[in-house]
Amino acid sequence: MGLSLHAIEQGGDVGGTWYWNRYPGARCDVMSIDYSYSFSNEIMQEWTWSEVFATQPEILAYANWVADRLDLRRSYSFDTCATVIAYDDEREIWSVGTDTGTVYEVKYLVMATGPLSMPKALDTPGSERFGGLLLQAQTWPHEPVDFAGKRVGLIGTGSSGIQIAPVVAAQCGHLTVFQRTPSFTLPARNQPLDPEFIAQIKAHYPHLREMAKNTFTGGIRPVSTRPFFSIPAEERRKLMDQAWEEGALRFLGLFSDLLFDAEANECVAEYVRGKIAEIVEDPATAELLTPRGYPIFARRPCLDTNYYETFNRPNVALSDCIGDPIEEITPDGIRTRTRHIELDIIIAANGYDALTGAMLAINVTGRNGARLSEHWRNGPRSHLGLMMPGFPNLFMVAGANGPSALANFILLNEQNVDWIVRCIEHLRGRGLSAMEPTPESEDRWMAQVQALAEPSLYPRANTWYTGSNIEGKPRGIPLLSRRAPPLPGGMRSRDRGFPRLRVRELNPIAAACRFKHGACLV
């Protein structure tokens, strides 16, 4: 485009979430063949993933490899944090102040600050007095941590905590898991990718990626059009048994109405509850681990490797933070309402100030002194999750009110970036200096987001999806859609004039890898 580009990055290197989240067991629960760039066929062909679900070190190695291959590092200032961002109305320029003292002036500003990048503060009193090692999953040290013989406490049982527990339990002296809300988690059944499968994927990669862009989540996995109760009970049971055995997020593709029909949802939830009771030997522990009171998949679904089995180990205990809440961290452990548990290491896997946290940590002022914190006073608002009125030429990647948390982030990012590039080209092609959505277009978009979200079961759970994991945070909602009209592929395919691929045309491709690691289209 003939423009110069400079990126500032708080981390010491590339990788984003995979740079920071180095905790034991960290891996992505979107399949590696989906969770990777699609913009370059050379990159897709040259890189070979080793497992169905890639580990954090492998994804970080991939990010580094792409950065080297495209010589991207020279465009970055690492270890640099934006602190103040302000729009100069007269010059139509954004100034970006940083903690290094450097101020950048730019015409177009892309906020790729991440929806899950601002760790939630540990709200338990006393952490500063703890004499042992206090670790946070989201900012894990780069050096290995020695757990041998140590008494470890783990706070949090979301996706991160569920990945940490089995790995740390196998290494430490004793592990106490502090659980507040039990999560539904499904077996990942991760495995190595065999060369034949890789060869089939690579042979059809461009088509498979195009297909993925036209799905709800941005991944090639089965999607059903059949409502739960349209299928006979015996067949439903067989499908669920099969999904449990095959692992991964197969359940999400079994029935079309899981997130809209509360009764259907409850049947699937009850199936998973039954599995917990089968796996966990101590009935009292099994009951505590059993999620109740919110729909399955209304909180971000978790994938695990031997999470429930971990509670059958003699060196693992579960502490129920609802019946016996944590009161404080002491110099040598954690005090709950009824007891004191001595610990050498505490791991906080307590989540994020999601979707808006990273943007609001920066003092952002738009046209006529409009403050972002004011614009989002009652929850995040945007047009398409990409732009906001009053903030000209400021673009967000994976922004709040876009598909954000519900999509494969890599593909979504690519779709967002392509949109932004075309937008800038449009401005320059017509000699226009700036653009922003009108307040009416933002209102219309927000009404559409609301209309899509309301009939779903998502609002029935307390989750970072809506901001309810942070006390006092106004509630928002990411874009939810029963079908997939405004999701990445739809927009991209239409805008680019690609012929929309029809299922019939794709089936021969999908058949090549059918029922292998769940990477297929039905």
Annotate each residue in 384-423 with x if it binds ligand NAP (CB under 6 A) or - if it does not, as one string: ----------------------------------------
In 3D, which of 390, 383, 386, 355 has the Cα closest to residue 86?
390
Q: What residue ranges in 115-164 does DSSP mark as E strands? A: 133-136, 151-155
Q: Which is nearer to ligand NAP, 97 or 301 (CB)?
A: 301
User: Residue 211 corresponds to which tokens in the numbers above?
Assistant: 């297909």
Q: Judged by CB under 6 A, which of 32, 113, 124, 215 binds ligand NAP? A: 124
CA distances from 158 to 23, 31, 49, 149 (A): 14, 19, 26, 25
Phi, psi of 337 (to 5 degrees): -60, -35
What binding mask, one character per residue, do residues 2-41 give for ligand NAP by CB under 6 A, x or -?
A: -------------------------xxx------------
Task: Taking the CA atoms of 77, 79, 80 and 82 in sequence, report the sign of the dihedral they define.
Answer: positive
- Cβ proximity to ligand NAP, 293 vs 314, nearer residue: 293
Residues 60-119 contacting ligand NAP, CB under 6 A: 116
Structure tokens at 489: 């592929």
Return d(Cα 264, Cα 135) in angstroms, integer: 40
Query: Of 258, 296, 349, 398, which lies in the binding site for ligand NAP, with binding defined by CB under 6 A?
Result: 349
Cα 157 to the chain's mean position, in Å? Answer: 15
Q: Which stretch binds ligand NAP (CB under 6 A): 346-354, 366-374, 441-449, 480-488?
A: 346-354
Q: Is 204 in the site for ligand NAP (CB under 6 A)?
A: no
Q: How far apart are CA 318 and CA 320, in angstroms?
A: 6
Q: Give the residue, chosen from 159, 185, 319, 382, that forms a contact with ligand NAP under the rule CB under 6 A.
A: 159
Q: What sign has the CA pseudo-torsion 304, 123, 357, 491? A: positive
Under rule CB under 6 A, residue 469 binds ligand NAP: yes
User: Does residue number 178 form part of the binding site for ligand NAP (CB under 6 A)?
Assistant: yes
Minimum CB distance to ligand NAP, residue 229 (Å):
29
Q: Is 153 in the site for ligand NAP (CB under 6 A)?
A: no
Smallest distance, ligand NAP to C-beta of residue 472, A: 14
- Cα 179–Cα 185–Cα 188 angle in degrees, nearest 5: 135
Q: Does 510 bind ligand NAP (CB under 6 A)?
A: no
Q: In this structure, what token pair is assigned to residue 70? A: 């495209």
Coil, strand or helix at 327 = strand
Toward ligand NAP, which CB reaches closer, 157 or 393?
157
- Is 298 near ligand NAP (CB under 6 A)? no
Nearest to residue 495, comparing CAs of 436, 426, 434, 432? 426
- Distances in Å between the Cα of 60 and the Cα atoms of 13, 56, 97, 242, 295 are 10, 6, 28, 33, 33
- Is residue 154 a contact residue for ligand NAP (CB under 6 A)? no
Q: Does the protein bind ligand NAP through residue 351 (CB under 6 A)?
A: yes
Q: In this chain, which stretch among 154-162, 234-242, 375-383, 433-441 interacts with ligand NAP, using CB under 6 A?
A: 154-162
Stretch that binds ligand NAP, among 82-90, 149-157, 427-435, 475-483 (CB under 6 A): 149-157
> Taking Cα atoms as reference points, which of 19, 22, 48 lies closest to residue 33?
48
Q: Which of 15, 16, 114, 156 binds ligand NAP (CB under 6 A)?
A: 156
Name residues whose C-beta falls within 8 Å of residue 270's C-beta, 6 or more positions apart in sequence.
Answer: none
Out of 160, 176, 190, 336, the only residue in the binding site for ligand NAP (CB under 6 A) is 160
Contacts with ligand NAP by CB under 6 A: the residue count is: 26
Among 31, 52, 155, 212, binds ligand NAP (CB under 6 A): 155
Q: Is 335 in the site for ligand NAP (CB under 6 A)?
A: no
Nearer CB in complex with ligand NAP: 114/389: 114
Single out the residue of 357, 440, 447, 365 nearest to residue 401, CA to CA: 447
| CA separation for the pair 182, 298 (Å, rounded) | 13
Query: Is residue 464 at the binding interface for ligand NAP, with CB under 6 A as the rule?
Result: yes
Applying CB under 6 A, does 180 fall inside the site for ligand NAP?
yes
Q: Which of 4-12, 178-186, 201-209, 386-394 is the region at the interface with ligand NAP (rule: CB under 6 A)?
A: 178-186
Q: What is the C-alpha radius of gyration for the chain, rounded to an integer number of angstroms?
A: 23
* Interaction site with ligand NAP (CB under 6 A): 27-29, 116, 123-124, 155-161, 163, 178, 180-181, 300, 321, 326, 349-352, 464, 469
